[in-house]
């Protein structure tokens, strides 16, 4: 059953039923191993999400700075043209 959890595609209805049955019948050691593995995967997914979120935040900050600079430049040229016109 643990091997099936390695594949990324969603579980079918039958596989969900099998997993539920397997978990209810699992001995204490197997249940703890499954809990540990699922916890490890969840923590890994959270870390990956956090890293991608940081990367996105950095890009957005850079984009904002660039847009502010461009806005100031455009406003400066607009004022310059207005005063000369």
pTM metric for this prediction:
0.57
In order, the DSSP letters of 19-45 are HHHHHHH--HHHHHHHHHHHHHHHHHH
How many domains, in total, are found in the chain? 1
Domain extent for 38: 4-84
**Residue 79, pLDDT score:** 96
Q: How far apart are CA 10 and CA 79, in angstroms?
A: 59
Question: What pLDDT digit, counting tens, does each position of 32-72 carry?
Answer: 887 888 888 899 999 999 999 999 999 999 999 999 999 99
Say if CB 31 and CB 49 are below 8 A apart: no
Mean pLDDT, rounded, of the chain: 88
As given in the structure block, the two tokens for residue 55 are 């990367």
């Amino acid at each position: 059953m643990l091997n099936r959890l390695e594949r990324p595609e969603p579980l079918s209805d039958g596989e969900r039923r099998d997993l539920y049955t397997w978990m209810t019948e699992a001995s204490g050691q197997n249940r703890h191993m499954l809990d540990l593995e699922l916890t490890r995967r969840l923590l890994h997914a959270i870390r990956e999400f956090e890293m991608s979120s940081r990367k996105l935040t950095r890009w957005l900050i850079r984009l904002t700075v660039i847009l502010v600079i461009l806005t100031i430049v455009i406003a400066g040229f607009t004022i310059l043209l207005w005063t000369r016109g």
